[in-house]
Amino acid sequence: MRRLIAAAAVLLVPVAVHAQAPQYINTNPQSTAPFSAVVKVGNMLYLAGQLGTDKGKLVEGGIGPETKQALTNIKTALEANGSDMEHVVKCTVFLADMKEWGAMNDVYRTMFAAGKFPARSAFGTTGLANNARTEIECMAVVK
């Protein structure tokens, strides 16, 4: 019996390790940034922080439009990698000014099904890339 258990462990461990190998997904081949847009490990997706940019430029209008565009960018990345907003389990929101937390929440809540909000943390910062008002990163389960 011990031999059978040992043989099963030897055979199954490489499969489990291989199944958990990270896949580094870069959605912008022209980018020279030192990070991946998405990393997939097993059935989980880890998204890099998204700014409220469209075609490489920060959208105008402040925290509301930037939040909507950042979450739209997240939605696009999720859908391109086998998931969607309903499968997001955790978000982290970075704000250039914590006074904009309420305005960010007003838009944020519209991007998720009522009562199915992911776990979330929010942090105030002393500055974000491109002078953005917010940056949002998420983790999601693949459908």
Q: What's the pLDDT tens digit per position in 51-76?
A: 999 998 999 999 999 999 999 999 99
Q: Confirm whether 6 is domain-assigned.
A: no
Read off the amino acid at residue 135.
E
- pLDDT at position 129 over 90: yes
Provide the domain limits for residue 40: 21-141
pTM score = 0.83
Q: Give the number of C-alpha atoms closer than 13 A to the C-alpha of residue 116, restricted to the C-beta side.
A: 8
- pLDDT at position 132 over 60: yes
Q: Confirm whether 5 is domain-assigned.
A: no
Residue range 77-87: average pLDDT? 97
Q: Confirm whether 14 is domain-assigned.
A: no
Q: Confirm whether 127 is domain-assigned.
A: yes
- Provide the β-strand partners of residue 91: 120, 138
17: confidence class by pLDDT, cuts 50, 70, 90: low
Q: Confirm whether 41 is domain-assigned.
A: yes
Give how many domains the chain has, as a whole number.
Answer: 1
Q: Confirm whether 64 is domain-assigned.
A: yes
* Predicted pLDDT of residue 1: 57
